[in-house]
Amino acid sequence: MSEKAKISYGGKEYEVPVVVGTENEHALDISSLRSQSGLITLDYGYKNTGSTSSAITYLDGENGILRYRGYPIEQLAEKSSFIEVAYLLIYGELPTQLELQKFEGDIRNNGMVHEDYKRILSGFPSRSHPMGVLSSLVTSLTAFFPQSLDPNRSPEGVNLSIMRILAKMPTFAAWTYKHKIGHPLNYPSPHMDYCSNYLHMMFNQPGTEYEVDPVVSNALDKLLILHADHEQNCSTSTVRITGSSMGSLYTSVSAGINALWGPLHGGANMAVIEMLENIREDGGDTKKWMDKAKDKDDPFRLMGFGHRVYKNFDPRARIIKKAADDVLIKLGVSDPILDIAKGLEEVALNDEYFVERKLYPNVDFYSGIIYRALGIPVDMFTVMFALGRLPGWIAQWKEMRENKEPIGRPRQVYTGYNERPYKPLNER
Ligand code: ACO
């Protein structure tokens, strides 16, 4: 028997059903509350509002747990590959050997983009931010594949759209960078794995055949796994809400890229490096910057710290911190900002302000240090995040469509003027 909760207001009592998830999370289903009572709920930033039910990712912020389709992130990061994780997220189960081979093969064979993309790219000034270019290139897939605009096409048609975007995104990302620096573009190779192919397109130069270092491609693969999904965050909610208007996969993902861009979300990885550089140039006084972050009159925040849902630790940050140490040692890179990052973390973890507010390093605090060691330029960091988050966005868009969710349309509490008559210009 389903549980109910009672809400009393204005001398009346209303009953709303309680929905229980598979990890025993309880939620009040208030969808009938307004028709019963005229009440809506108000929750700025959706801090305590579930927008959907989902079987993709489980996250327990109090205990630092993150699982994709039930599999702990620690095990996936250690044992799986990004493409296998993408399959898991999108189709719900780990692939068999045969399924994985087919999936990988399809992705390898779909990396090419139309030559006209070169003309599209040439229209962007070289100072364009790569995230803006990437979202435009993804939107323009609708022009090359207009059938993709129909989200209700056959499952095979939807799968084709999925395959295309997964396969072409590395090409878009690498071409965005090459165009920015004015270098010739490299074509995707069907003979390379996902990360090696991307690195080759990023770093190969005419005359010098770029050899992909397995340390670099494995580290990148792990980073992409760690970013692959994170339930209903800002960009994923944007993808779902865009798709809920019957928006296509490509337009929804493009919207997600734009939502990810901001420094409070995926853009934090770039902001962290800029912040650590500033601290270094300023003499490395971490306490001074901590004080700035705590000062309510100063807009500065410690980038890479704090999270809406993790209130104990971010499990991805733990894996990345260790991976950063390993990668730097393996590549023989010494990065002075790693020491600054560690120093800052130590000070913050023992500081009353940060402890009280449960502010811990998040996934972005150390990821930028690895990207730097891999040779990825700072303004491409958020693009790397988008590349990693793509399977999650696809899985969430697909789930939303399959569950036939209604169009996303929140309500509001209006606080503006009551009705007033229009005043002609000469009376104002
Ligand atoms: N530095 C200093 N103070 C902080 C920080 C920070 N990084 N983060 C939160 N706080 C303080 C706030 O000022 C607030 O203090 P108050 O209660 O005295 O007013 C309190 O902690 C709670 O912060 P909120 O902003 O209410 O928390 P919210 O859940 O809305 O924000 C967010 C989460 C956006 C991640 C925030 O912690 C932040 O801005 N962090 C820095 C940016 C960042 O690293 N973003 C990446 C997040 S991970 C990701 O998206 C992949």
For a substitution probing ligand 1, which of 226, 359, 393 has the most ligand atoms within 8 Å of its CB?
359
DSSP 305: B
At residue 335, does pLDDT exceed 90?
A: no
Q: Active site residue: 221, 229, 351, 364, which one?
A: 364
Q: Which among 126-135, 298-307, 347-356 has the top mean pLDDT?
A: 126-135
Give 124-139 pLDDT, tens digit per residue.
999 999 999 999 999 9
Q: Is the pLDDT assigned to residue 259 strictly greater than 70?
A: yes
State the Cα angle at 252 between 260 and 123, rounded to 5°: 75
Rounded distance, CA 275 to CA 273, Å?
5
CATH 2.20.28 boundaries in the chain: 4-66
Q: What is the identity of the amino acid at 289?
A: W
Mean pLDDT confidence for 153-166: 94
Q: Was domain 67-405 assigned CATH 3.40.50.2000?
A: no
- What is the Cα–Cα distance from 249 to 141, expressed in whole angstroms? 10
**How far is ligand 1, taken at its centre, from the CA of residue 276, in Å?**
17
Which residue ranges does the chain devote to CATH 1.10.580.10?
A: 67-405
Q: Is 230 exposed, middle or buried (0-12, 13-18, 19+ CB in 10 A)?
A: buried
Q: How far is the CA of 292 from the centre of ligand 1 (A)?
A: 14
Rounded to the nearest angstrom, the distance between the alpha carbon of 353 and the centre of ligand 1 is 12
- 159-173, 289-303, 378-392: least confidently modelled range: 289-303
Tell me, rounded to whole angstroms, the distance of Cα 376 from its chain centroid. Answer: 18
pLDDT at 366: 87
* Mean pLDDT value across residues 168-189: 97
Confirm if 260 and 131 have CB atoms less than 8 A apart: yes
pLDDT class of 352 with cuts at 50, 70, 90: very high
Pairing of strands 26-28, 71-72: unpaired
pLDDT in tens, 16-50: 999 999 999 999 999 999 999 999 999 999 999 99
Give the residue-averaged pLDDT of 303-309. Answer: 90
Q: DSSP for 97-137?
A: HHHHHHHHHHHHHT----THHHHHHHTS-TTS-HHHHHHHH
CA distances from 3 to 19, 40, 237 (A): 8, 21, 28
pLDDT at 1: 58
For residues 65 and 318, what is the distance between their CA atoms, to the nearest angstrom?
A: 12
pLDDT over 90, % of the chain: 83
As a whole number of angstroms, the distance between CA 324 and CA 346 comes to 16
Query: What are residue 20's phi and psi, to 5 degrees?
Result: -115, 125
Alpha carbon 47 to chain centroid distance?
Answer: 18
What string of DSSP letters covers 161-177? HHHHHHHHHHHHHHHHH
List the structure tokens of 336: 């002075």
Phi, psi values for residue 250, rounded to 5°: -70, -40
For the segment 137-162, the average pLDDT, to the nearest whole number, is 93
Q: What number is the average pLDDT over the span 90-112? A: 97
72-88 pLDDT tens trace: 999 999 999 999 999 99
| Ligand 1 atom closest to Cα of residue 234 | 50
Q: By CB neighbour count within 10 A (0-12 exposed, 13-18 middle, 19+ buried), where does 198 fall?
A: buried
Ligand 1 atom closest to the CA of 306, numbered from 1: 37
Q: Whose CA is nearest to atom 44 of ligand 1?
A: 304
Please write the tens of the pLDDT for every residue from 388-428.
999 999 999 999 999 999 999 999 999 999 999 999 999 99
Instruction: State the average pLDDT over residues 271-276.
Output: 92
Q: Output the pLDDT for position 369.
A: 87
- CATH match for 4-66 among 1.20.120, 2.40.30, 2.20.28, 2.60.40: 2.20.28
Q: Is the pLDDT of residue 198 over 90?
A: yes
Residue 385 Cα, ligand 1 centroid: separation in angstroms? 19
Residue 13 alpha carbon to ligand 1 centre in Å: 37
Annotation says 213 is catalytic: no
Q: Kindly tell me if the per-residue pLDDT of 12 is higher than 80.
A: yes
What is the structure's pLDDT at 19? Answer: 96
Residue 382's closest CA among 302, 262, 275, 301?
262
Q: Please say if 326 is a catalytic residue.
A: no
Nearest CA to ligand 1 atom 32: 307
Instruction: Report the nearest-CA residue for atom 31 of ligand 1.
Output: 308
pLDDT grade for 322, boundaries at 50, 70 and 90 = confident
Which residue, judged by its Cα, is nearest atom 17 of ligand 1?
A: 357
Question: Cα–Cα distance between 101 and 107 in angstroms, integer?
Answer: 10
Tell me which of 179, 200, 227, 307 is the catalytic residue: 307
For ligand 1, atom 24, name the residue with the nearest CA: 308
Question: Measuring from each residue's beta carbon to the nearest atom of ligand 1, which residues come in under 6 Å?
Answer: 45, 264-266, 268, 293, 301-308, 357, 359, 362-364
pLDDT of residue 333: 87
- How far CA 67 is from CA of 28, 48, 54, 62, 150, in Å, comes to 24, 21, 13, 14, 31
pLDDT of residue 84: 98
DSSP run (H or E) holding 66:
strand 65-68
